Chains A and B, each alone.
Chain A
C-alpha cells in the first residue's frame, strides 16, 4: 500500500497533465507592469492631455523607473496603440463570447461590436479625441497606415468578414464579402468621429444613428444594392 501511495504521489493527475503550463512568474510580472504602464498613461492622457504627458510622468504614476517604460514601449504612441489593441480584442471577445448573439441578425452583431468598442473607449473620451488628431499625422505610429495599426485593422476586418460570411449562404461569398469588411472599418471610423462630437445625453444620437445606419446598410448589402 505504502509503495502504491508513493508511486501515486509521483504520478501527475491526468487533468494537470492536459492543462496548459501556467505562465511563469517572470511573464506574469511583465504583463502586470505592462498593464500598470498603460493604465497610468491613460489616466494622464485623459486628465492632462496626450501632448502634455511625458514618459517620465507615466513612469512616476506607474511606480517604475523611466527606463523600464522604454523596455516595454518605445514611445507614448506605442502605449496608445496598445490601448486600441485592447479595445479591438475586448470587442471581438465580447461579440464572440455572448451566447445571445449567436443567432442574432448581422446588423445586431455589428451593432454589438461597435457599441462594445465605444463602451470601452467611453472613460477616455478626451484622449480619444487627441489620438484621432495625432493619427492624422503621416509619421505617427497611430496613423491608420502605420505597420502596427495595419495589423490591428487586419484583425478587426478579419473578424467582421467572419461575421458577414456567417450571415450569408456560401454561394454568395465573393468579392462583396471581401470588400464589405473594409468598408465597415471606414464606417467605424466615421461612427467614432460622430460619437466624439455627439453632445446628446448619454450619446443617444450615436446609438440611434448606429442602429439606423446598420439596418439600412445590411439590408442594402444583402440585397446587393451597392
Chain B
C-alpha cells in the first residue's frame, strides 16, 4: 500500500504544511531541521517496512498533539506493522523543552509570583517531560517535596491550528468514512482537555477517591494553592519506570504480581470507575519492590458513557457462543444506534475479535479461574492488533472506545514486556461482580 495514500501519511503531510503556519505545534518539530541532525537519524533498515518506519520515526519526532492524533488513528487504520503499532501506543505526547527563564515567566504569569517566591526551593532543570509541558522538583514553604508541572505557552492555540490543518488535509478520508468526523472530534476534545491543568487536578482527585479500594495503587495529591490552569503542583510519588524495573531482573513472582495489579487496575477503572487513565506511556507508571503502582499524569482521562460500560459488562466473559443470534443482538443493540446499521463485515469483525482475543485472554469457563494467562507469548498481542485493525477496516470503531483502545494496547504491551502470568478470568470476574 503506498504510504502516500494512508491517513497517517496525510497527517505527516499536514506536518510539512505546518511549517508555514505561525503558532502551529508542528512548527516546533520542524525547527529541528535547523537545530540538530534529526534527519541523519532517519536511517531505515528493511525496504518492505520503510514507509512504516518512517512514519514511526516522524511520529516520535512530532511528539505533540499531531503525534497523538497520528498515533490514535494509526492504531485503528491498519497502516503500520504490528511491532511498530505496539511501540507507538506508548509514545508520549511531549512539548518542546523550556529554559528556566520561560518556566519563571509561565509560573509568574499563572500564579502571580516567581517560583523562588512561592517555594522554599525550586529546581530550575526539569526532572521529567510531561504532556504539553515539563515537571520540576520543588519544596513548599512547609518543607513538603512536590512535583510542579508547567505548561508550554500558547499550546491551546497551537493545537487548534493543527486540527484546522488536519481537518482540511483529511477530507477525503472523512468522506470515505475511514477517518470519521466523530473520531476527529473525539480526539480533538481529549487533546484540548489536556491543556487545562485545572481539569487535570479534578481528574487526579476523582481517581484518588475512586482508586482508594485498590491498596496497591498510589495517586498523587494535588496542592491546589500552588496550581492553576497552566501550573499543576502535586505530591511526588516514589518508584521506578518499567525499563529500570526490568533492568534489575525482577523475579517471575514479582513480575506476576505486577502483571496482576496492572491488569486489575485497568479493569477496575473500566468496570467500576467507568473512567480510565488513557495515557499508557511508560513514564506514567511507577513500580516499587512491593508490586505497588504509582500512577501519574492524568491529562488524558476518558470518562466512559454508562451504555458503553453496560455493553462491555455484557460481552466480557460472555458465556455462550459468539457466533450466535443472542450475541449478535447484544452487539447490535450497542452499535446500531450510533452507526445506523451494523454491516455484516463489521459484525463479523466484532465477533472474531471477541472470540479470537478476549475469549483466549480471559476465558469465561469456570475451569479457567485458576489458570494463569501467559502474556510472554507474543501471539496474543498479534491477535489483538489484527482484531483491532479488522474492526477499523470494516468501520466498526466506536468513538467512545478510541482512547480506551489506546489504554488497552498500553496494558497488553506492558504485560508482554513483564512476561507476566496473570489469573485474568478471576480478576475480570471480580471486577464484574463488584
**A and B bind:** yes
Contact surface of A with B, Cβ cutoff 8 Å: 100-101, 104-105, 107-108, 111-112, 115, 200, 202, 204-205, 207-209, 211-212, 215-216, 219-220, 223, 225
Minimum C-beta distance from B95 to chain A (A): 10
On whether the beta carbons of B157 and A209 are closer than 8 Å, the reply is no
Residues on A with C-beta less than 8 A from B124 are: 100
On whether the beta carbons of B35 and A212 are closer than 8 Å, the reply is no
Determine which of B27, B99, B100, B109 lies in contact with A212 in the assembled complex, contact meaning CB atoms within 8 Å: B27
On whether the beta carbons of A219 and B99 are closer than 8 Å, the reply is no
Per-position binary interface string of chain B over residues 100-143, scored 1 when its CB falls under 8 Å from any chain A CB and 0 otherwise? 11100110011000000000000010000000000000000000
On whether the beta carbons of B101 and A101 are closer than 8 Å, the reply is yes
On whether the beta carbons of B154 and A209 are closer than 8 Å, the reply is yes
6 A-B interface contacts by CB (under 8 A): A104-B101, A204-B109, A207-B106, A207-B109, A212-B28, A220-B34
Residues on B with C-beta less than 8 A from A219 are: 31, 34-35
On whether the beta carbons of A100 and B98 are closer than 8 Å, the reply is no
On whether the beta carbons of B153 and A115 are closer than 8 Å, the reply is no
- Most chain A CB atoms below 10 A, which of B98, B152, B153: B153
Residues on A with C-beta less than 8 A from B34 are: 216, 219-220, 223, 225
Residues on A with C-beta less than 8 A from B106 are: 207
B23 interface residue (CB < 8 Å to A): yes
On whether the beta carbons of A208 and B31 are closer than 8 Å, the reply is no
Q: Given A100-B124, A200-B154, A205-B154, do A212 and B101 touch, yes or no (CB 8 Å)?
A: no
On whether the beta carbons of A202 and B101 are closer than 8 Å, the reply is no
On whether the beta carbons of A209 and B23 are closer than 8 Å, the reply is yes
- Most chain B CB atoms below 10 A, which of A104, A208, A223: A208
Number of B residues near A (Cβ < 8 Å) is 25
On whether the beta carbons of B31 and A215 are closer than 8 Å, the reply is yes
Determine which of B35, B100, B153 lies in contact with A215 in the assembled complex, contact meaning CB atoms within 8 Å: B35
Q: Given A100-B124, A219-B35, do A208 and B152 touch, yes or no (CB 8 Å)?
A: yes
On whether the beta carbons of A100 and B100 are closer than 8 Å, the reply is yes
How distant is the Cα of A104 from the Cα of B104 in the complex, in angstroms? Answer: 14
Minimum C-beta distance from B48 to chain A (A): 36
Residues on B with C-beta less than 8 A from A202 are: 109-110
Residues on A with C-beta less than 8 A from B110 are: 202
Residues on A with C-beta less than 8 A from B154 are: 200, 204-205, 207-209
How distant is the Cα of A202 from the Cα of B158 in the complex, in angstroms? Answer: 15
Closest 5 CB pairs of A and B: A208-B154, A207-B153, A208-B153, A108-B99, A204-B153
Residues on A with C-beta less than 8 A from B35 are: 215-216, 219
On whether the beta carbons of B99 and A104 are closer than 8 Å, the reply is yes
How distant is the Cα of A86 from the Cα of B109 in the complex, in angstroms? Answer: 23
- Quick one: closest B residue to A108, CB to CB? B99
Residues on B with C-beta less than 8 A from A105 are: 99
Minimum C-beta distance from B418 to chain A (A): 39
Minimum C-beta distance from A89 to chain B (A): 20
Minimum C-beta distance from B431 to chain A (A): 42
Residues on B with C-beta less than 8 A from A216 are: 31, 34-35
Minimum C-beta distance from A215 to chain B (A): 7
Beyond known contacts A208-B158, A211-B102: 11 more, CB 8 A cutoff: A100-B100, A104-B100, A112-B101, A202-B109, A204-B109, A204-B154, A204-B156, A207-B102, A208-B152, A209-B23, A209-B154
B22 interface residue (CB < 8 Å to A): yes
